[in-house]
Each structure stands twice: as structure tokens, then as C-alpha cells.
Amino acid sequence: MEEACKDQTIADRIKLWGETDPHTPAFIFWSPNGRFILSRGDVLDLSRRFSSRLTQKGVQPGDVVCVSLPNSPERVVVDFGVQLTGAVSMNGQILRSDGQDIIESMRKAKCKVLVIDPDEGNDAWNICRKHVHIESEDRHMPIATSVEVPTLANIAFCRTRKPESLFLKTLLSIETSIMNIPKHKPTDVAYIFATSGTSGYSKLVQHTHRSLMVICFRLTEDTGMKDKHSKSFISGPLGWIGGFPVYYLYSGCPQVLIDDTAEAVSDRLQFIWDVACKEDIQVSTLAPFQFMGILGRRDIWESSGKKLPMIVTGGQPLHREYLDTIGQLTESIFCLYASTEVGYVAGIGFRESNLSLFKENMAGVLASGVEAKIVDSNMASVAENTRGEILIRSETITAGYVDVPDKHQAFLSDGWFRTDDIGFIDGKGCLIVEGRSSDAIMHGQYILYPTWLEEKLARCSGIKQNYIVPVPDKVMHHEICACVQLEEGARLTEEDVITFVRGDVAETVRSDMNVVPKYVLFFDSFPVTKTLKLDRKELTRFAQKRLQLE
């Protein structure tokens, strides 16, 4: 089956499911307005109509269309419509407060069309409208120009306000001819994703139809989502590779999402749990802070009498506390290791019968077709159980970054990709990922990898979660700051935390390296990126500000 999917494009799969049991639900959206279903046939029909609109405006195969829409029925239709045109869909995320990142991304990718909601309350539009000039009266897709984005030709207005859903209604008036699958190859670029960095501009990562379909196959196989009647819930953004609709595209499984263009949900954790239970979800893809947040609120789940069959998570190292959800929220938890550049790399599933296999920071077994090796600073392979940088080789590796004139240093000549992650492979072939080398703390003459100390500090009674971040120091370059979230009712002080590290952790370090935090800060919650990962850079900024070390 993997070989078969390599020869298909995203457009092939959209057409396949749209013509196979067209009345079967494809995407189910929930909001305070209720439940909205896009059937397989709806997805194909509406996407064809939007594709026709793009084609009529001169969009050609290979052109880049920037889609700045949150999770919604409109987002699905637009993304898939771009694919049926043979064009490239680029995620138009905004992470910088000034919004300049979306303008810079469009410039780099030579974007031809921007798809955006022109609602006055839309932050993305309020930012972008300052950089574009509307040249025609077309209310759906006017001609537009931009000094900053010289290639921009049109803006596609997508009005998503609920319950009107005007954009979808306008598509129904578009005449479509018999659809022909665009003449592009599996090796052509299909999507441009942005990395979730929040300092400076994100890197733009290109993926081909082939790499995405192989990712779909591998993840579907390893999570068991091969039954076309099984439902998945996904909390991540559709424009992020972690939110890509892998199960629908590969096996036709219905996907359940929250419509983020509707009225905001007041209690999102409660809403997520209620939706997952009502829809009888088989696989729920949740960020760690989401399922751990639900676990900590017994009022949400205890009286429901239900458990989720499987929670899939990733984005940060696997911690023992995550397994507390087994038997309470879920029957099993599948933790995966992935990246925007490589896609799904490795994973491991836990249930009550195999909890004894757990190790801190396990990434699990490599997915089929993926190779990994650990190297030292000279790029030489190291022995098992020896820490080093993780290199990955797989046919799912990105086709390259956008607007990088020379081959990026992350890509080695023999096909290996430098992940910037630190870890090792144990004697059983399990990949252990301890964190990013760029997160390392330069503490005097030593380098401290935060996840190592986080793992040790997690054993301190009363600590629910902790993260170690660097703060500036004139002598040591970096000092160690422990950012701590306490369990409900715990009364730990800064001195209690320092005493624990000094006694239970520092004594195990066989050198003169000082691993005792100079600072301890307490937090009610930790910042996350728009792609639902811990935002270490933002947390570091918070710590520096509170310590007045900026």
C-alpha cells in the first residue's frame, strides 16, 4: 500500500474519496452553533468550485496560494481547491505581533493569491490590508498589488462568519466543467508549511505530494486508523503539518475539528472532551497541555463514564506523568516524534499492559522506511546509549526551504537531515529524544541540556510540571532558572526546590558542574505556540522579565 500511495497526488485522493460513498461524512465541525458536516461529496464539489474560481483568475499549476484561515469548513475547501488547481497551498500563519511574518513569507514564496477573511475583526486582515492595494471591484477575488509582495495578483475573500457561512454559499453559483486531475507529478511540491518558531521569521518548509502521502500511510498504519468508519479528532491547525488531514486522505476516515471561525468556546477543554465523547472518537490528537489539563479537572471527565480509545500526542519529550491518563481518560496513548521538515519519524504506544517499558523522553520505534543515527560534533557516529545529535534519513524529508539560495546546512550530501535534536539510541533500538541542541544552556564551561534536569526535578513531590530555561549572567553566560507549576494544594517554596536539586540531583553529577538552579519561578500555566507546543522562547522571556534581567 505504501508503494501505491507514492504514485498518487493529494488531488488524486480528494477525487477518490469524493467519488466513493459521497454521502459519507468527511469533516465534522463543532462550535457553539452546533454540528456541521462536510460529506466526501461536499468536499470534492466545493473544492472543485473554488478551484474553478482560481483557474478563472489565471492561477496555474505551481503557483503559490497563501491561505490565512483557521480551522473551519472553509479552510478544508480552500486548501483542497488549491490542490485541485495544481497550485501550492502555503500556510499563512501570523506569529509576530506586527504580522510582518506573513508578508515576508508571501514575498519569499512568490505568492500569487492570498486567501483571507475580510471581516473587520480579523487580525490577519487588519495586518495584511496595510500592505496590499485593491485594484478592482470584484467582491470575491479582486485584483490586488503589493510593494512588499510583487508577485501578488489577487486576494480571495473568504467570509467565514457563522452561522451565515457566506463563502460556501457563494461557491454554489460557480459553474464547473468536468474536472481533470492537474498534470502534476507526485514529486511536485504540494504544500508549504511554516515552522513554529516565534523568534524572527519561521522557515518555510516545502513538501511534495509523495512525501505527504507516505507520511499519511505511515501514521495511519502505526495508529491503526485504517477502518474508513473510524473517526479522528485533531486539535492542531490544519495548516500545520501536525494538523494535516492524514487519516482522511489515506483511508477516508472522518475527521472531527472545532470550527475556530465561529463564536469562541468559553471552556475549550470541556468542549474538546464533550465533542470527543459525543462523536465516539477512536483517535484524539491532543497537545500534552490539553489532555493533562483535562486530567487535572475531574469535573470534566469523571462523571462521563467514558474513555477515549487512543490519545496521540507529540511536540515535546514523553514524560511519565502523561501515562497517568491511561485508565482514566484513555485506553492507550501514542507518543510520536516528528518535525515539520521530516514529518512522522518514530512512535510508541502505551497501555496498562506495557507501562513497565516506559523511559523518560522515549520517542519510540522508527517508522517504516526511516533511518536514524547519532553523531558527535564531528559528524562521526557514536555507540548505542551515547548522547549526540540525531540525524534522520527518509523519503519524507522536505524538498527544501523556500528562498534559501544555497543548500541549507541541515541537509547533508548523503541524504541525512540534521534535526538539531539531542538524544541517543538504546540497546533495544529505541530512540530517546532529550531536546533541542539550540535550547542548551551554556553554564560556564559546561553545557546543560534542559530536559535532563527537568526529568530529575519532576521527581520532587508537589511539582506537577517544570521547565528549565537559561537567563543571562555576566560571569557564567547563562544561569539556570527552574520554571515550576505546582500540583493543586502543594506549598513548595523556592528554597524547597533548590534543596531538592542540591540533595537529590547534584550529588549524582560526577563533576564540578553545578546543576542547581540559581532561580525558581512559579507559574500557573506555561505559554504555548499557535501549533500547541511549549513556547520555550516565550517562557524564557517571561522568566527574564520577572527577574528583571532583560
DSSP state of 116: E
Q: Find the mean pLDDT for residues 469-474.
A: 87
Q: Find the mean pLDDT for residues 181-210.
A: 80
Cα–Cα distance, 290 to 295 (Å, whole number): 9
Question: Looking at 96-110, 374-388, 389-403, which range is the least confident one?
Answer: 96-110
Residue count of the chain, please give it.
550
Residue labelled with grid coordinates 508549504? 192
Given a cut of 90, whether residue 124 has pLDDT beyond it is no
Q: 201-240: string of b/e by CB count within 10 Å (b at 16+)?
A: bbbbbbbbbbbbbbbbbbbbbbbebeeeebbbbbbbbbbb
Cα–Cα distance, 499 to 492 (Å, whole number): 11
3.40.50.12780, 3.40.50.720, 3.30.1300.10, 3.40.50.300: which CATH number matches 2-223? Answer: 3.40.50.12780
CATH 3.40.50.12780 intervals, the chain: 2-223, 265-438
Query: Is-contact 289 241, C-beta < 8 A?
Result: no
CATH superfamily for 265-438 is ANL, N-terminal domain (3.40.50.12780)
CATH 3.30.300.30 intervals, the chain: 440-546
Residue labelled with grid coordinates 519532576? 458
Based on the number of CB atoms within 10 Å of its own CB, is 192 exposed (0-12), middle (13-18) or buried (19 or more)?
Answer: buried
Mean pLDDT of the chain: 89
* Confidence (pLDDT) at 546: 94
Query: Is-contact 207 194, C-beta < 8 A?
Result: no
pTM assigned to the model: 0.84
HSE-up of residue 282 (Cα within 13 Å, Cβ side): 15
Cα–Cα distance, 188 to 295 (Å, whole number): 43
DSSP state of 516: S
Q: What angle is formed at CA 345 by the lines to CA 398 and CA 432, rounded to 5 degrees?
A: 130
Nearest CA-CA partner of 109 in 131, 87, 127: 87
- Could you please state the CATH topology (level 3) that the domain comprising 440-546 is classified under: GMP Synthetase; Chain A, domain 3 (3.30.300)
Task: Classify residue 527 as left (phi > 0), alpha (psi -120 to 50) or beta.
Answer: beta
Q: Find the mean pLDDT for residues 448-469.
A: 89
Cα–Cα distance, 35 to 28 (Å, whole number): 7
Query: Is-contact 283 312, C-beta < 8 A?
Result: yes
Cα–Cα distance, 37 to 35 (Å, whole number): 7
| Band (200; pLDDT cuts 50, 70, 90) | very low
- Secondary structure (3-state) at 498: helix
Q: Find the mean pLDDT for residues 451-467.
A: 91
* Confidence (pLDDT) at 440: 75
> Cis (ω within 30 of 0) for the bond into 163?
yes
70-86 tens-digit pLDDT: 999 999 999 999 999 99
The more confident residue out of 508 and 25 is: 25
When mean pLDDT is compared over 113-127, 177-191, 370-384, 462-476, the highest value belongs to 370-384
Alpha carbon of residue 50 to chain centroid:
26
235-280 tens-digit pLDDT: 888 988 989 999 999 999 999 999 999 888 889 999 999 999 999 9
Percent above pLDDT 70 for the chain: 93
Question: Looking at 60-64, 200-204, 230-234, 514-518, which range is the least confident one?
Answer: 200-204
Cα–Cα distance, 89 to 66 (Å, whole number): 6
